[in-house]
Amino acid sequence: MPTIEFQLNGTATAVDADPDQALLDVLRGRLGVTGPHFGCGAGECGACHVMVDDRAIASCDMPMWSVAGKDVVTVEGLGTAEQPHPLQRAFISEQAMQCGYCVSGILISAAALLMHNPSPTEAEVRAALDRNLCRCGSHNRMVRAVLRAASQMATS
Amino acid sequence: MMTPPPAPKLPISLTANPRLSSWVRFTGEGRVAISPGKVEIGQGIVTALAQIAADELEVDMSRIEMIRASTATSPNEGVTSGSLSIQQSGRALRHVCAEVRQRFLVAASERLGVDAARLEVNDGMISGPGNVRTSYWELAGDVSLDHDATAGAIAKSAVKRAVAGHSVERIDIPDKVFARPRFIHDAALPGLLHGRVLRPDISGARLVALDEDAARAIPGLVAIARDGGFAGVVSDSEAAAEAALNALRKRATWSGGEPLPDEDDLAGFLRCQPAQTTIIDTRTTAATRQHARTLRRQYTRPYIAHASIAPSCAIAQWDGDRIHVWTHSQGVYLLRTDLAIVLKLPAENIVVEHVEGAGCYGHNAADDVALDAVLLAKAASGRQVRVQWSRHDEMSHAPFGAAMAIEIEADLDEDNEIIGWRHAIWSNGHAARPGRAAQPALLGATEIANPYPRMISTNPPAANGGGGDRNSVPLYDLPAWTITSHRLLTMPVRTSALRTLGAQGNVFAIESLLDEIAALRGEDPIAFRLRHLRDERAKDVIRAAARRAAWKPQRRSGTGHGVGFARYKNTGAYCAAIAEIEGTDEIRVKRLTLAIDVGETINPDGVVNQIEGGAIQATSWVLKERVRFDGTRITSTSWTDYPILTFTEVPAVDVEIIQRPEVEPVGAGEAAHGPVTAAIANAVHDCLGVRVRDLPITRDRIIAAMELAS
């Protein structure tokens, strides 16, 4: 199996992997990074979203060969309890979830949006999150949280 | 002679589990362990229960550790369902904690030589005049909680509660935001193996032959488990297990199968099946008004998938003839009962422990996958095996919410006032949960050698809110009615509990027809409802929603407004909803305005969160959701084939809580679905002038209704 090298949450990472294996499998399996969640395996729900070179993508159908040399960021790379990302703080402030299974993917989609568009409108937030499914109906809280984080990032 | 007051009664969960120490323990380092039998399913219950405990014990929330339910240690509170957790677990914990506080005050009084009435508790520290003090933790050795609860304990009055009644942040949310493993899916256990189960595409088909050679050649394979028609693989990684399963699937031979009904004629199917017929309720009043006409209307709702974002998952491990199961089941004891039947082992040999999963919204595959894990782990020589279903299986093999056909005949007088009302329901039962019958309800049990038959769903008794008949008895003061339930005795599509059971369908039907009758009379639909209600709490939520939505907003072309109301189960939360929609053939719900009365509100933001979520999920059911099938198989097995509401389609949701701190609290989780469904349907009529009586309200259904009307 070839060695595939990429940046994972800012750390140089090398794994021996089948080039066709999905990034999500490698993250959750060998690398023990369980923030990205399996939801459908077909890129239809967004629970497995990670950022690859600043874009939110579904890691469940992204083959390892396409990650070589790229910069991969999972929810673990956004922030920690000690140093939270503004989005993480805002999701707590807005209590923006019920079960929370979809949240790690949604945080990634939102983070990618704010990198490209630091002050999005509500409609732009909704459009950016439209590939992420939430079954509990916490959408509006999450949209409020993203807008809150954007305004905090603008003033800080 | 005066009758003595009735003896005070213990809350129901406490009658079943009276031992104080099973609920509360003071642990080292100033901590309190609270051990409810109810489980977190994303509804925020552990936080609400912690609030209740913190209040009654007078300790800071941060001292409380909520223990996950386990058959090894927890009180048996049955299943976490039916919006009953606050009613059952909350009342029990309030009572237990009040009694524990009193016992400690008595002990403190003895130690400090101060009358108990002069002592006070502040964050677990007990102090009195003269600066004497001790604490729960100092006294813990002196005060045994291995006593049964007594009926006399008195909880704080509403005005003295400092935590319950306030919005506190949920204790599970930081883990979820920072991706600290909390879901069973993320459990990192050394040496964990991964299993997958082979299931047929054809509904009800049985595995008759399997060539295992190709699967055995897949690297990482640990075992292939076979038990009659049950087959699965165990491998050292998820990817290896998937590969082995694919290899097995290619060499599997299936036989038989059960034909599925015509998905375009659900009412025709439901109404011609053998059924158990029950009169749910009748009311008669001497007729004083003359019958002029009868409106007869039929309403249907399709099978609806739970469609959890996470596929169901479980972990199991055998140690000799003892088994440990980790599960996101809603009822750890009930699951254990069924596992014991299938495995022919004493229940005591099995420990079933809860770990959080994604929101389930009822009886999904959580219990099925637990048996799968147990059967696969049996072949894994004592190692832990984690089994996760595929999206495909989650959408096709898990139980669905039952399809319903509802016919209401309303007898009207000359003025179109209602003088008679007959409501009939045709539906499969709405509950086939584990642990309640002599036979198991688990999918794997129907596949093993010497299989059990598929359990035909039944309905909970009316005293527990009923099933298909839930919310079928009008809360309105109509002069006469007959409510009849026809529960199907066949079940080609597997059904069990989905959020609200039959309430969503019944409220949709009742509230749609009331709207139609009000329109026939030329009467405002809210005025019409208020005129037929005697319950002031019911009227209050309707008035509050109307006020908040500025009812009735001026009619604009291409928009519509509608109202819906119900008291969940007729005994639970009151909820009124007003929908604003727009559209010509494709409907868009713009705004939902709701008012809710759950009695005492333990965590107001938690209640709002539940109502918002319920309203949005109901909107998704109404506009989009329908399990699809052809003659032999379920075809809606992906998010493409079973779409749900997305971020750009979600309406604004505005919720007002009517606070009643003096009234016993009830749950909020299922209150919104029925009212929101009806409000949207009534808004569609307001907007387009047609009544769509078959859910979901799609473009095709609207066009069909328009063609029928023209």
Same-domain status, B633 and B490: yes
Q: Cβ of A99 and B186 within 8 Å? A: no
Contact B612 A140 (CB under 8 A): yes
* Within-domain flag for B42: yes
Shortest Cα–Cα distance, A127 to chain B (Å): 6
Using CB atoms, pick whichever of A80, A97, A143 lies closest to residue B176: A97
Min Cα distance B154 → chain A (Å) is: 33
Q: Which of residues 480-519 of B touch A (CB under 8 A)?
A: none
Task: Name the residue range of residue B588's domain.
Answer: 404-430+467-709
List residues bridging with B562 in a β-sheet: B579
Residue B17 lies inside a defined structural domain of this protein? yes
Would you call B200 an interface residue with chain A, using a CB distance cutoff of 8 Å?
no
Task: Give the list of residues 6+ apart from residue B5 with CB closer than 8 angstroms, or none.
Answer: none
Could you tell me if B219 lies within 8 Å of chain A, comparing CB atoms? no
How far apart (Å, rounded) are the C-alpha atoms in residues B52 and B526?
A: 37
Contact A107 B177 (CB under 8 A): yes
B605 touches A: beta carbon within 8 Å: yes
Residue B4 lies in a domain: no
Please report residues of A whose CB lies closer than 8 A to that of B637: none
Query: How many CB contacts within 8 angstroms connect chain A with chain B?
Result: 160
Cis upstream peptide for B156 (omega within 30°): no
A73 touches chain B (CB under 8 A): no
Cβ contacts of A127 on chain B, cutoff 8 Å:
647-648
- Cβ contact, residue pair B647, A126, below 8 Å: yes
Q: How far is Cα of residue B582 from the mean position of the Cα atoms in its chain?
A: 30
Q: Which of B173, B616, B653 sits opposite A100 (nearest CB)?
A: B173
**B237 neighbourhood in chain A, CB within 8 Å:** 25, 29-30
Q: Phi and psi for B103 in degrees, rounded to 5?
A: -60, -40
CA distance B685 to chain A (A): 25
Judge: B178–A126 Cβ closer than 8 Å, yes or no.
no
Top CATH class, A3-77: alpha beta
Residues B703 and B667 in one domain: yes
Mean pLDDT over each residue of chain B, to the nearest integer: 96
pLDDT at residue B554, rounded to an integer: 83
Asked if A107 reaches chain B (Cβ–Cβ under 8 Å), the answer is: yes
Q: Which of residues 379-418 of B touch A (CB under 8 A)?
A: 388, 390-391
Whether B77 maps to a domain, the answer reads yes
How many CB atoms neighbour CB B698 within 10 A? 18
Report CB contact under 8 Å: B176, A40.
no
| A76 in B contact zone (CB under 8 Å) | yes
Question: A20: distance to nearest CA of chain B, Å?
Answer: 11
Residues B194 and B165 in one domain: no
Give the closest residue to A48 by CA, choosing from A29, A25, A81: A25
A82 interfaces chain B, CB cutoff of 8 Å: no
Considering only CB atoms, B644 lies closest to which of A25, A99, A135, namely A135
Nearest residue of chain B to residue A95 (CA atoms): B169
The reply to whether A104 touches chain B by the CB within 8 Å rule is: yes
- Model confidence pLDDT, tens digit, residues B538-592: 999 999 999 999 998 888 889 999 999 999 999 999 999 999 999 887 899 999 9
Q: Is B577 a member of any domain?
A: yes
Q: Is A105 on the interface with B (CB under 8 A)?
A: no
Question: Do residue B57 and residue B138 come from a single domain?
Answer: yes
Same domain as B231, residue B198: yes
Helices (H), B58-120: 85, 91-112
Closest-CA distance of chain B to residue A65, Å:
16
Contact B638 A40 (CB under 8 A): yes
Cβ of residue A103 closer than 8 Å to a chain B Cβ = yes
Which among A34, A39, A98 has CB closest to B179?
A34
Instruction: Indicate if B224 and B106 belong to the same structural domain.
Output: no
Q: Which helix (H) or strand (E) holds B607?
A: helix B604-624
Q: Tell me the chain A residues in contact with residue B617 when contact means C-beta distances shorter than 8 Å.
A: 135-137
Alpha-carbon distance of B550 to B144, in angstroms, equals: 57
CATH of the domain at B86: 3.30.365.10
Asked whether residue B140 falls in the same domain as residue B193, the answer is no
Residue A108 forms contact with B (CB below 8 Å)? no
pLDDT value of position B144: 96
What are the start-end ranges of the E strands in B355-429? Answer: 385-388, 404-412, 418-427
CA–CA separation, B231 and B447 (whole Å): 9
Residue A90 distance to chain B (closest CA, Å):
10
Out of B114, B148, B176, a domain closes at B176
Beta bridge partners of B387: B195, B314
- Backbone φ, ψ for residue B611 (5° rounding): -70, -45
DSSP annotation of B338 reads H
| ipTM of model over 0.95 | yes
B285: in domain: no
Q: Domain locations in chain A? A: 3-77, 86-155
A143 touches chain B (CB under 8 A): yes
Residues 138-177 of B with CB under 8 A from A: 169-170, 172-174, 176-177
Residues 320-379 of B with CB under 8 A from A: 356-359, 361
Q: Is the domain of B391 the same as that of B425? A: no
**Position of tokens 């049996």?**
B378
Nearest Cα residue in chain B from A25: B239
CB-based contact (8 Å) between A116 and chain B?
no
Q: Which CATH class is domain A86-155?
A: mainly alpha
Neighboring chain B residues of A136 at a CB cutoff of 8 Å:
42, 359, 613, 617
Mean residue pLDDT of chain A comes to 97
Nearest Cα residue in chain B from A26: B239
- Asked if B238 and A25 come within 8 Å (Cβ–Cβ), the reply is yes
Three-state secondary structure of chain A: CCEEEEEECCEEEEEECCCCCEHHHHHHCCCCCCCCCCCCCCCCCCCCEEEECCEEEEHHHCEHHHHCCCEEECHHHCCCCCCCCHHHHHHHHCCCCCCCCCHHHHHHHHHHHHHHCCCCCHHHHHHHCCCCCCCCCCHHHHHHHHHHHHHHHHHC
Q: Looking at the 3D structure of chain B, how many domains does it have?
A: 3
**Strand ordering across the sheet containing B221-227:** B221-227, B230-235, B193-197, B385-388, B313-319, B322-327, B350-354
pLDDT attached to residue B6: 61
Q: How far apart are CA B602 and CA B55, in angstroms?
A: 11
Cα gap B210→B224, rounded to integer Å: 11
The per-residue pLDDT for B1 is 46
| A94: its two tokens | 């807005």
Shared domain check, B350 and B205: yes
Do B192 and B112 belong to one domain? Answer: no
- Find, in chain A, the residue whose alpha carbon is nearest to that of B168: A95
User: Do B504 and B365 belong together in one domain?
Assistant: no
B638–A129: do the CB atoms touch at under 8 Å? no
| Predicted pLDDT of residue B275 | 98
Q: For residue B447, which of B255, B250, B211 has the smallest C-alpha distance?
A: B255
- Sheet-wide strand order for A11-16: A11-16, A3-8, A71-73, A49-52, A55-58
φ and ψ at B193, to 5 degrees? -100, 165
In a domain, B436, yes or no: no
DSSP A89: H
> Which residues in chain A have their CB less than 8 angstroms from residue B653's CB?
140
B281 belongs to a structural domain:
no
Among the partner residues B359, B391, B616, nearest to A99 by beta-carbon distance: B359
Compute the nearest-CA separation of B360 from chain A (Å): 9
- CB-based contact A100 B310, cutoff 8 Å: no
**Predicted local confidence at residue B396, as pLDDT:** 98
From the list B181, B183, B617, the residue facing A137 with the nearest CB is B617
**Which of the residues in chain B have pLDDT under 50?**
1
Q: What is the reported pLDDT for B365?
A: 98
Say whether both B241 and B212 belong to one domain. Answer: yes
Cross-chain Cβ contact B183/A101 below 8 Å: yes
**Which of A101, A86, A92, A94 minimizes the C-alpha distance to A132?**
A101
The amino acid occupying position B97 is C
| B191 lies within 8 A of chain A by CB | no
What are the residue ranges of helices labelled H in B322-365?
332-343
